[in-house]
Structure 1
Amino acid sequence: MFRTGFIAGALLISGTTFADAEPVGNRVDVNGMKMYYEISGEGEPLVVLHGAYMNIPSMGAIIPKLAETHKVYAVELQGHGRTTDIDRPITYPNLADDIAAFMDAIDLKKADVFGYSMGAAAGLQLAIRHPEKVNKLAAASVAYDADGWQPEFKAVIPQMTVEMIVGLPFAEDYRKLAANPDGFPDLVKKLIQLEKEPMAWEADVKALKAPVLIIAGDADVATLEHNVALFRLLGGGAMGDMGKPLAASRLAILPATSHTAVINQTDLLYAFAEPFLKGETPKGMFQ
């Protein structure tokens, strides 16, 4: 979360479980990893990608909610949850390539994607690097440039240490699902390094063909100005009701919502994501 998930939802990973969901779990070989995923629901395919330090259960109620209208493929990324780690950095391009390889491995040619935080950035890179795989992307708490982070977060990145993260309450929860229960410090090292990786994707974002729904909290880790800039790169922000169709991409801001609170806003997330994924647009008085 945050850029990858600095605090990583300490409030989120404290035992949140699915309600009334009966997902089918499996593992598949992907780029040297045993990647764990769960399938639930029926309908058009939707790949769901979690934030850093998270797993499928810690995404909470949004997965079963989405599974009411979609066939959801929830994936646990490199070193997270039940997916094994490998001797390779965690980068957004690497994560995107993993998802593309995962889709090939299960014969899923193309899908919509819903990602949160690190998963949203991985989804953005998936649309950039493998455009043939992505129909539409719903990206919650994402950025396309490191300059878009809030000043407070930029100041924290150089101070991050493994000891800081392993001492947080949620760290012990890692052991409950991990393929390597003692692998958390190594995962933390990789995620701290991810915070420091170059991130400047403006040209790539501007060239995207897939529609993107940008979802952000009004107190998120990326500034409001950055979210608006992202929306404008995707063709949004022009006035409607002027005889031209609206942009295919959309922007939604959640009120009174911090970064780690975004994923808990199940009803609002679904209310924004579902019409977007279905291609439904509110009608104005001139339509």
Structure 2
Amino acid sequence: MFRAVLVAAMLAATGPALAEDTPAGGRVEVNGMQMYYEVSGSGDPLIVLHGAYMNIPSMGRIIPMLAESHQVYALEFQGHGRTTDIDRPITYPNLAGDVAACMETVGIDKADVFGYSMGAAAGLRLAIDAPEKVGRLVAASAAYDFEGWQPAFKEFIPQMNVEMFLEMPFAAEYRELAADPDGFPALVEKLIALEHEPMAWGEEMKALDIPVLIITGDADVATLEHSVSMFRLLGGGMMGDMGQPLPESRLAVMPATSHTAVINQPGLLHAFIEPFLQGETPKGFFE
């Protein structure tokens, strides 16, 4: 999920996605909006979900890297990028429902999912609400409970207001792709409201029966303790080399990495994501 102020520098620094083949763009009607998506690569389907205030280009090089071995469907959420906004709040259940509806419309019964920030939380919610649609889930910079945020971020949420976001670089960049170039203030209001939405998904996370790769920076917006807690809810944290197979879920911590620096390291991200999606496990001495 998005951490608003934190993404400003990252959005300015992240270049457009580069690929040998130009992705095929399209729009589908989803829950009253025109949702924009791009398809690239070939192979098993992989849904890619961006963070708040972001779009497909600002996800950077990780998309073309993943498209080397997957058919990537990169989506743009309600009011983001080229997707229209509608008279409806932005909530994680709503975002997850939009992804599910888009999958149905384009003919995808089941897919792996990679989400970053707000997109990671939407991916978690999709796995909870429609587990039959998700094969493997990669959740980068996510939380499942409000109490998992860093204290500094929890203290900052009540101070958020529309005006502070209007001065940030992505306010001007929004107009370049937006279906409604003047719709940025309305989007900010909805995303601030999202930060106040209740989030306590512990029991639902514990019930998940799909493999999840949790990726976090060691200086991310969620605490390290929260990421470990998420991993343990998914069955992780056991000792290996004791004759039992490792759990399918995994935890990866990126060193010297803040929230916005996670998506700016596509090589390291890809090195974590690809083996997980392929179901590959490093071999120990006793195997």
8 A contact 2:37–2:74 mirrored in 1? yes
Task: Report what 1:199 is aligned to.
Answer: 199
Task: Report what 1:114 is aligned to.
Answer: 114
For 2:17 and 2:243, the matched residues in 1 are separated by 44
- SS of residue in 2 equivalent to 1:264: coil
8 A contact 2:3–2:221 mirrored in 1? no
Task: Report what 1:23 is aligned to.
Answer: 23
List gaps (5 residues or longer) in structure 2.
Answer: none
8 A contact 1:18–1:57 mirrored in 2? yes
Instruction: Tell me by how many angstroms 1:23 deviates.
Output: 0.4
Structure 1 segment 97-176 matched on structure 2, within 5 A: 97-176=97-176
Task: Report what 2:85 is aligned to.
Answer: 85
Task: Report what 1:4 is aligned to.
Answer: 2
- SS of residue in 1 equivalent to 2:64: helix
Instruction: Tell me by how many angstroms 1:13 deviates.
Output: 2.3
8 A contact 1:136–1:212 mirrored in 2? yes
For 1:55 and 1:30, the matched residues in 2 are separated by 17
For 2:171 and 2:187, the matched residues in 1 are separated by 11
Give, as a single letter, the amino acid of the residue that structure 2 aligns with 1:196: H
Structure 1 segment 1-287 matched on structure 2, within 5 A: 3-7=1-5, 9-14=7-12, 16-21=15-20, 22-287=22-287
Instruction: Tell me by how many angstroms 1:12 deviates.
Output: 2.7
- SS of residue in 2 equivalent to 1:13: helix
What TM-score results when the alignment is normalised by the length of structure 1?
0.98
Instruction: Tell me by how many angstroms 1:173 deviates.
Output: 0.2
- SS of residue in 1 equivalent to 2:47: strand
8 A contact 1:4–1:194 mirrored in 2? no
For 2:217 and 2:183, the matched residues in 1 are separated by 32
CA RMSD of the aligned region, Å? 0.9
**Can you list the C-alpha shifts for 1:92-111, whole angstroms capped at 9, x where unaligned?**
00000000000000010000
**Can you list the C-alpha shifts for 1:3-49, whole angstroms capped at 9, x where unaligned?**
42312521232262122341000000000000000000011110000
Structure 1 stretch displaced more, 254-263 or 8-17: 8-17
Give, as a single letter, the amino acid of the residue that structure 2 aligns with 1:16: G
8 A contact 2:10–2:260 mirrored in 1? yes
8 A contact 2:6–2:259 mirrored in 1? no
For 1:12 and 1:225, the matched residues in 2 are separated by 25
**Can you list the C-alpha shifts for 1:117-143, whole angstroms capped at 9, x where unaligned?**
000000000000000100000000000
8 A contact 1:231–1:250 mirrored in 2? yes
Q: Which runs of 4+ in 1 moved over 3 A?
A: none
Give, as a single letter, the amino acid of the residue that structure 1 aligns with 2:250: R
For 1:179 and 1:225, the matched residues in 2 are separated by 40
8 A contact 1:47–1:75 mirrored in 2? yes
For 2:227 and 2:204, the matched residues in 1 are separated by 16
8 A contact 1:212–1:248 mirrored in 2? yes
**Can you list the C-alpha shifts for 1:179-204, whole angstroms capped at 9, x where unaligned?**
00000000000000000000000000
- SS of residue in 1 equivalent to 2:174: helix
For 1:282 and 1:183, the matched residues in 2 are separated by 47
- SS of residue in 1 equivalent to 2:283: coil
**Can you list the C-alpha shifts for 1:120-167, whole angstroms capped at 9, x where unaligned?**
000000000000100000000000000000000000000000001111
Instruction: Tell me by how many angstroms 1:170 deviates.
Output: 1.7
8 A contact 1:79–1:85 mirrored in 2? yes
